[in-house]
Amino acid sequence: MHIALYKPDIPQNTAAIIRLSACLNLKIHIIEPCGFDLHDARFKRVVMDYLGFSKIYRYEDYDKFLSKNKSKRIVLMTTKAKKNYHRFIFKKNDILLFGRESAGVPENLHKTIKNKVKVPMNKKTRSLNVAMSVAIVSAEALRQNNLLK
């Protein structure tokens, strides 16, 4: 199972997601540019020593990410989706794509990505923290594919 972060801009969230990936055996794809340096003290404080347990792939832009992952299905996690994550059937090799904390993904990506799902929320709220969204959705995807050990 794969998690892709589109131009992440909060170091603590990215670090928490990498730590989660180490614990759940998820592969992480970081689509640059990041809004921070991976040597940032805030990043290092949260990621601790989990970088060594994670499989991380970095791409200089979205086009390079797409060209390296042609055989995988991309599932965009977005508050704009109609389908809830628990009603979606995930596949073992899916890439779950999460947008920037500050802006999501650009509209042109929304238009080109077929599979979009969301975490249902209280209508009075805007969004979940991206690290929490990754945890919720990846746990369901792993459960559906019997990948939790």
Domains and their CATH numbers in the chain: 2-144 (3.40.1280.10)
Question: Around Cβ 84, how many Cβ atoms within 10 Å?
Answer: 11
- Give me the mean pLDDT over the 25-34 stretch: 95
CA 115 to each of CA 2, 49, 123: distance values in angstroms, whole numbers, following the listed order: 15, 34, 22
Average pLDDT, the chain: 92
User: Within 13 Å of residue 115, how many CA atoms lie on the same side as its CB?
Assistant: 15
**What pLDDT was estimated at residue 44?**
77
User: How far is 28 from 9, CA to CA, in rounded Å?
Assistant: 15
User: How far is 24 from 65, CA to CA, in rounded Å?
Assistant: 22
Task: Read off the pLDDT band of 65 (50, 70, 90).
Answer: very high
* More reliable by pLDDT, 72 or 148: 72
Q: Do the bridges between strand 95-98 and strand 2-6 make them parallel or antiparallel, or are there none, so unpaired?
A: parallel
User: How far is 57 from 59, CA to CA, in rounded Å?
Assistant: 7
* More reliable by pLDDT, 47 or 114: 114
Query: Above 90 in pLDDT, residue 114?
Result: yes
Listed in sequence order, the DSSP H helices in 5-129 are: 11-24, 41-47, 62-68, 107-112
Query: Above 90 in pLDDT, residue 91?
Result: yes
**What pLDDT was estimated at residue 38?**
76
